[in-house]
């Protein structure tokens, strides 16, 4: 036997009238006119062959059959709403703001481990050097650099120290035993951290002969170094893979220092009332920086 159901629009109008006791309120909820609601109710009664409403001069009331039917219809709509809500029960994405190079060269290679520990939690990563406004931007966590003794925000979690060292393409650097002197090379750096060459050279008692060429990000400076345009100053962790593949080589040799502390650390900043997903990211990140 063919299964038939009353028109959904008529059922919805009946449920609203039963819930509010008013044709006017039902019409407003449906964004239609009151006569349109009345028409849907008559269609439902004609389809069912049962009187559901008693109509008066200025009001309507449910018949006995209407009372019984309304209980079932309202329960059915409640179940539909719950089922629909369950379709979107996934947690909101974890939105992280960080510096481009740190995100690209340190965080992203480690994100599969975070995802494996928190399956189903999507991560949205944005890069910026601007200060984050948690109240306006919908960001769950931000990573910034600041001096070791000066957290960028109350309660910030100190991550890894920011070390810097010089690297260049093998063809430009020369053989290991006879590395070219940095004074013969173009120095490459980032506008975000223009002081890093001065910090590293000062650790050797030297200074730069000419100002470094500064790029928008350290990632761009690293790419320029790989193309042989000069020597880049950056955190060794950012170019570990390039060094392993011999696309870059360390420039420090002999008594010269390798990586030197820049005086800054990376810090994780959370909003005043962090989401559970942000707390999970904090705990994972605290463990990851120790590895």
Express each pLDDT in 35-81 by its tens digit. 998 999 999 999 898 999 888 766 788 999 989 998 899 888 888 88
Q: Does residue 263 lie in a domain region?
A: yes
In the chain, % of residues over pLDDT 70:
96
Same domain, 76 and 117: no
Q: Do residues 56 and 242 lie in contact, with contact meaning Cβ atoms separated by under 8 Å?
A: no
Interval 9-36: pLDDT, tens: 999 999 888 888 888 888 888 889 989 9
Same domain, 40 and 168: no
Which residue, chain included where needed, has tokens 């942000």?
278
List the CATH number of the domain containing 218. Answer: 3.40.190.290
Which residue, chain included where needed, has tokens 């703001």?
97
Q: Does residue 142 lie in a domain region?
A: yes
Q: What is the structure's pLDDT at 110? A: 95
Q: How far apart (Å, rounded) are the C-alpha atoms in residues 77 and 53?
A: 19
Which domain covers residue 283, as residue numbers? 92-291
Q: What is the structure's pLDDT at 269? A: 95
Q: How far apart (Å, rounded) are the C-alpha atoms in residues 182 and 33?
A: 81
**Does the pLDDT value for residue 136 go beyond 80?**
yes
Q: Do residues 66 and 15 lie in contact, with contact meaning Cβ atoms separated by under 8 Å?
A: no
Q: What is the structure's pLDDT at 220? A: 96
Q: Among 73-87, 121-135, 181-195, which stretch is predicted with the lowest mean pLDDT?
A: 73-87
**pTM, entire model:** 0.67
Same domain, 246 and 148: yes
Q: Do residues 158 and 265 lie in contact, with contact meaning Cβ atoms separated by under 8 Å?
A: yes
Same domain, 185 and 212: yes
Q: What is the structure's pLDDT at 3? A: 59
Q: Do residues 223 and 239 lie in contact, with contact meaning Cβ atoms separated by under 8 Å?
A: no
Same domain, 171 and 213: yes
Which of 53, 87, 121 is where one domain is finished?
87
Q: How far apart (Å, rounded) are the C-alpha atoms in residues 153 and 144?
A: 10
What is the SS3 assignment for 286? helix
Same domain, 119 and 199: yes
List the one residue out of 143, 163, 160 whose CA is nearest residue 152: 143
Q: What is the structure's pLDDT at 1? A: 39
Q: Does residue 291 lie in a domain region?
A: yes
Q: How far apart (Å, rounded) are the C-alpha atoms in residues 197 and 211?
A: 9
Same domain, 150 and 253: yes
Helix (H) or strand (E) holding 87: helix 64-87
Q: Do residues 63 and 36 lie in contact, with contact meaning Cβ atoms separated by under 8 Å?
A: no
Same domain, 146 and 221: yes
Same domain, 34 and 122: no
**Does the pLDDT value for residue 253 go beyond 80?**
no
Confidence of residue 2 (pLDDT cuts 50, 70, 90): low
Same domain, 166 and 289: yes
Q: Does residue 1 lie in a domain region?
A: no
Which of 43, 60, 87 is where one domain is finished?
87
Q: Does residue 3 lie in a domain region?
A: no
Interval 93-118: pLDDT, tens: 999 999 999 999 999 999 999 999 99
Same domain, 116 and 31: no
Q: Does residue 2 lie in a domain region?
A: no
Same domain, 37 and 168: no
Q: Do residues 92 and 120 lie in contact, with contact meaning Cβ atoms separated by under 8 Å?
A: no
Q: Do residues 218 and 129 lie in contact, with contact meaning Cβ atoms separated by under 8 Å?
A: no
Q: Does residue 150 lie in a domain region?
A: yes
Which of 36, 53, 87 is where one domain is finished?
87
Q: Which of 48-52, 60-64, 152-156, 234-238 has the highest mean pLDDT?
A: 234-238
What's the domain count of the chain?
2
Q: Does residue 242 lie in a domain region?
A: yes
Please classify residue 102 by burial: count the beta carbons closer than 10 Å to its beta carbon, then call 0-12 exposed, 13-18 middle and 19+ buried: buried
Q: What is the structure's pLDDT at 207? A: 87
Which residue, chain included where needed, has tokens 């950012």?
238
In the chain, % of residues over pLDDT 90:
58
């Amino acid at each position: 036997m063919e299964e038939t159901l009353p028109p959904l629009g008529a059922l919805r109008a009946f449920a609203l009238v039963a819930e509010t006791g008013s044709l006017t309120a039902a019409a407003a909820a449906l964004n239609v006119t009151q006569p349109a609601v009345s028409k849907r109710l008559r269609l439902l009664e004609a389809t069912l062959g049962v009187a559901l409403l008693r109509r008066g001069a200025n009001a309507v009331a449910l018949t006995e059959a209407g009372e019984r039917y309304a209980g079932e219809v309202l329960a059915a709509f409640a179940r539909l709403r719950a089922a629909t809500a369950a379709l979107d029960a996934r947690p909101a994405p974890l939105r992280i703001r960080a510096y481009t190079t740190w995100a690209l060269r340190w965080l992203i290679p480690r994100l599969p481990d975070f995802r494996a520990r928190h399956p189903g939690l999507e991560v949205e990563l944005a890069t910026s050097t601007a200060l984050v406004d948690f109240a306006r931007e919908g960001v769950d966590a931000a990573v910034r650099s600041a001096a070791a003794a000066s957290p960028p925000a109350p309660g910030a979690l100190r991550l890894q120290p920011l070390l810097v060292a010089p690297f260049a393409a093998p063809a430009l650097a020369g053989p290991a035993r006879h590395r070219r002197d940095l004074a013969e090379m173009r120095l490459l750096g980032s506008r975000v951290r223009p002081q890093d060459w001065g910090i590293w050279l000062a650790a050797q008692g030297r200074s730069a002969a000419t100002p470094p060429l500064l790029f928008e990000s350290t990632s761009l400076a690293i790419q320029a170094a790989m193309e042989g345009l000069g020597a880049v100053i950056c955190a060794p962790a950012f170019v570990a893979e390039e060094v392993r593949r011999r696309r870059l080589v360390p420039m420090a040799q002999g008594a010269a220092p390798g990586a030197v502390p820049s005086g800054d650390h990376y810090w994780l900043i959370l909003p005043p009332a962090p989401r559970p997903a942000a707390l999970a990211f904090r705990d994972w990140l605290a463990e990851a920086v120790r590895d």
